[in-house]
Structure 1
Amino acid sequence: MKEQSQGYMPLSVARLGTLLAGADDSLRWRLVAEFLEEYGWEPAESRARLLEDEPASTGDEHWDVFLAALAEHVAARDGRDGPSWAGSRSLRRFWFPFNGRAARVDAVVHAPAAFRRRGVFVARQELEVA
C-alpha cells in the first residue's frame, strides 16, 4: 500500500522546541526565524493551534523560557492570550542572547513584554522576519 503524503505542515512551537534541542545557536536562530516566517503566513484563525502543545525541554532552560515568551508574544500580536503552558516558565537570572554592549542596551529598551517579564532580553527587531 502506498503511503500518503501529509503535505505542508507549518512549524509549531512544540516542533520548534524539538528542533532546538542539541542545535548550535546559529541554527537555533535560523529555526526561530523559520517559525516566525511560517507563523506569519498562516491564516490568523489557524495560528493558535501552532502554539497549543507544550514543547518538551530543549535541554537548555534559557531556550525553554524563550519558547514560552515567543508563544506569548506572537499570540499577543494576534490579540490572544498566550498558551496556558507558557505561564509558569521564567528565568531567575536575566539572559541576553545577544550579549554585546550595544545589543544589551537595545534589548533592555526594546524587549517585548512577554520576554522581559521572563528575564529574556532580546530586542524586538531580532524577532522580526520579512
Structure 2
Amino acid sequence: MSAHIRDTRKRLGMTIYDLADKLGVTAGAISQMERSERDETIQLSTLKRALKAMGADLSTEAQDAPMSAKHLLTARTAAASMSKELAENDEDTALRIAIQSLDHFRHARTRAEILDFLREPPTTGDPRWDTLLATAIAWDAKRRKIRPPAWTRKPALSEEWLPATPGRPTERYLDMIRQAAEPEFREKGILMRERDLLVA
C-alpha cells in the first residue's frame, strides 16, 4: 500500500482541487486516484502522471528524507530546537536557529530534500515564533520560486513584534526598522529586515 500522490500533494500544500486543475480532471478523479493507489489498483502511468504534475517522480518520492543524514535543519527540527530554547527563555538562540534553518533550506537541492525540509513542523510553544518561522520559510521559498506549503500561512499577530529584543525600543528605532522591514514580515506584524535573515 502506498500514498505517494496524497503525501506529495499534502507536503506541497496542494488541495485535491489544485491537483485536479493541474491534471485537467475533476476533484473526484483525484480522490479516486488516491484511493486506487492506497488499494494498489492504480495504473503505473496514472501514478507517474499525477506525480509529474506536482514536479515529482517515483524515484524522488521513494527516497528517504536526506536532510538529517546531512546534519541539516528542517522546519521540523528547527521548531523543536526553538521550542527548547524558548523554554529556557533564550530568545536570541531561538532567533539564530530560525535564521540558520533558512541557510540549511538553501542547501536543499533535490526534490526529496526540499519536500523533507518543508514538512509541517510542531509548534514552538509560542504563536509569535510559529508565525516567524512559517513566514521566514515562506519568504525564502518564494525567493527560490518554490511554492510555500499551506502550513506557512499564519494569521497576522495582534501586536507588532520585534523578535529577541528585550524591553520596549524607542519609537524612532521601531520606525527605522519598520521602514526597512520585509513586506511579508511587516504584514504579519513582525519587524524583520532582509539583513536580519542572513547568517552572519
Provide TM-score, normalisation by structure 2. Answer: 0.54
Q: Which runs of 5+ in 2 are unaligned?
A: 1-67
1:90 equivalent to 2:165? Answer: no
Q: How many residues align?
A: 124
Task: Find runs of 4+ consecutive structure 1 residues off by over 3 angstroms.
Answer: 44-49, 98-103
Q: What residue in structure 2 maps to residue 13 of structure 1?
A: 75
Amino acid at match of 1:50: F
More RCO (CA 8 Å, sep 6+): 1
Q: How far did residue 60 of structure 1 move? A: 1.1
Higher helix share: 2
Which one of the candidate residues 24, 32, 47 is aligned to 2:114?
47
1:103 Cα offset (Å)? 4.8
Q: Please say if residues 22 and 59 of structure 1, whose CA atoms lie closer than 8 Å, have aligned partners that are also in contact.
A: no
Alignment partner, residue 63 of structure 2: none
| Partners of 1:103 and 1:38 in 2: CA distance | 30
| Counterpart position of 2:176 | 106
Q: Runs of 5+ in structure 1 lacking a partner?
A: 1-5
In 1, the alpha carbon distance for the partners of 2:191 and 2:92 equals 18
Deviation at residue 44 of structure 1 after TM alignment: 6.7
Q: Distance in 1 between matches of 2:144 and 2:94?
A: 24
Match of 2:195 in 1: 125
Larger radius of gyration: 2
The within-5 A match list for 1:29-48 is 29-43=95-109, 45=111, 46-48=113-115
Shift of 1:19: 0.6
Provide the C-alpha distance between the structure 1 equivalents of 2:115 and 2:199, rounded to a whole number of angstroms: 19
In structure 1, the residue corresponding to 2:70 is in which secondary structure?
A: coil
Tell me the percent identity: 23
